[in-house]
Amino acid sequence: MSGFLANWAQALIDPQAFRDEQRRLALAWTFLGLAGDVARDGDWFRASIATRSVFVQRFGEELRGFENVCAHRFYPLRRDARGSGPVVCGFHGWQYNRDGLVVGAPICKMVFGKLPHELGARLRPIELATCGSMIFGRFPSSAAAPSLEQYLGDAFPILQAISHVKARPLYMERPIHAHWKLNLHITLDDYHGPTIHPSTLGRHGWLPSLSMRRYFRLGANSAYLFSDDERCFDRLLAGCRSGTYRSDHFFVLQILPNLVVAHVDADRPFWYCNIMQYVPVATDRTTFRSWSYPAPFTADISWLARTTRPVTDLFRHPIYLHYFKRVVDEDATVCERIQEVAHQIDRAPMLGAQEERIGWFEDSIRDLAGLTGKM
Ligand SMILES: [Fe+2]
């Protein structure tokens, strides 16, 4: 396939095209959050699947997910990012159980002439599945749909291994006034580093050769590994499967629809992981969310550095986050500037050798948005 269609930029400005696309993407597995945020009974967090607000809550051993809309008058049940406690609507006090059924409603007999459980009101459930400590969700559909493991393919064992988060990750969130796919494109672009990120990634970062940049198409997803070994992806995959992968090179995975997971050597020998998500809000609005944490893999860290790490991390984490945030902000600014002229784009972009994953992404997202059926 060709990657971009000539009219691809229509999706950046046309609300109807955006709604159609999002309605279909609601059926695709979408990253929602980390298991650490719903560790105890009653814990919940809010997330979004294709612009629709949802929440995930722990009920004992089980995680359940629902659309974040009361069955009575559509008030959003969960207003904060996360919390703990029973599902009680803040508008009229309706309460729901783990199956999403209404089990309590104030003066119900008087106002509805029946008891709460006789109302037949229930929350719309979402399907959940986990990969390591990553929780994914989708709206159910009547059509046969792949399991999360099938959907992620070779990315599954890598995400399972990399999401082994030991402490609370460093969380970041910011609005970006640009279409969510422009944001994905820039994460798949290894050409812009020296011009856009001179103070973080280096002013003279043009690589004299492409030999270290290794791109892999993983079904609908893709990976970039910085390595001199042409079998680096097989080694990464085998190492993640067997639990023997050692941090020794940068890699980044792009997972449809809107997830990017990176393994970064910002301060060797200390490696970090970033889980990054570009949450669609409107044609020209995206919410960026990220979780950063020390890589869970073994690395060549000296005894002294390892022993003093709890102290040095107190400085290392904020410094890392500072530079990470700067890169995110610089990328966001580029996307916002392209969004300003999106109505003028009437042709496909020219993609060079370090941008080919962008074309793969466009192919894959078009397939996903087109083939997952109608709701
Ligand atoms: Fe960038």
Whole-number Å distance, alpha carbon 190 to ligand 1 midpoint, is 8
Whole-number Å distance, alpha carbon 196 to ligand 1 midpoint, is 6
Whole-structure pTM value: 0.95
Whole-number Å distance, alpha carbon 337 to ligand 1 midpoint, is 14
Cα separation of the two ends of the chain: 26
**How many structural domains is the chain composed of?**
2
Whole-number Å distance, alpha carbon 243 to ligand 1 midpoint, is 31
Q: Is the peptide bond before 257 cis (omega within 30 degrees of 0)?
A: yes
**Residue 118 shares a structural domain with residue 171:** no
Boundary (domain end) residue, out of 124, 145, 166: 145
Cα–Cα separations (whole angstroms), residue 293 to 218, 270, 271, 371: 25, 11, 9, 35
Residue 56 belongs to domain with CATH number: 2.102.10.10
Whole-number Å distance, alpha carbon 32 to ligand 1 midpoint, is 24
Whole-number Å distance, alpha carbon 76 to ligand 1 midpoint, is 35
In a domain, 4, yes or no: no
Whole-number Å distance, alpha carbon 192 to ligand 1 midpoint, is 6
Whole-number Å distance, alpha carbon 140 to ligand 1 midpoint, is 35
Whole-number Å distance, alpha carbon 326 to ligand 1 midpoint, is 10
Q: Specify whether the backbone of 307 is left (phi greater than 0), alpha (psi in -120 to 50) or beta.
A: alpha
The 3-state secondary structure of 191-243 reads: CCHHHHCCCCCCCCCCCCCCCCEEEEEECCEEEEEECCCCCHHHHHHHHHHHC
**Residue 340 shares a structural domain with residue 263:** yes
Residue 20 contacts residue 38 (beta carbons within 8 Å): no
Whole-number Å distance, alpha carbon 150 to ligand 1 midpoint, is 30
Boundary (domain end) residue, out of 93, 118, 145: 145
Give, for all 375 residues of the chain, the pLDDT tens digit: 557 888 889 989 999 999 999 999 999 999 999 999 999 999 999 999 999 999 999 999 999 999 999 999 999 999 999 999 999 999 999 999 999 999 999 999 999 999 999 999 999 999 999 999 999 999 999 887 899 999 999 999 999 999 999 889 999 999 999 999 999 999 999 999 989 998 887 666 666 667 788 999 998 999 999 999 999 999 999 999 999 999 989 999 999 999 999 999 877 889 999 999 999 999 999 999 999 999 999 888 899 998 999 999 999 999 999 999 999 999 999 999 999 999 999 999 999 988 999 999 999 998 888 844 443
- Domain ranges, residue 52: 30-145
Q: Which residues pair with 88 in a beta bridge?
A: 95
Nearest of 32, 291, 297, 253 to residue 159 by alpha carbon: 253
Whole-number Å distance, alpha carbon 222 to ligand 1 midpoint, is 17
Whole-number Å distance, alpha carbon 287 to ligand 1 midpoint, is 17
Q: Quickly count: other Cβ atoms within 10 Å of residue 224's Cβ.
A: 21
Which residue, chain included where needed, has tokens 């042709």? 347
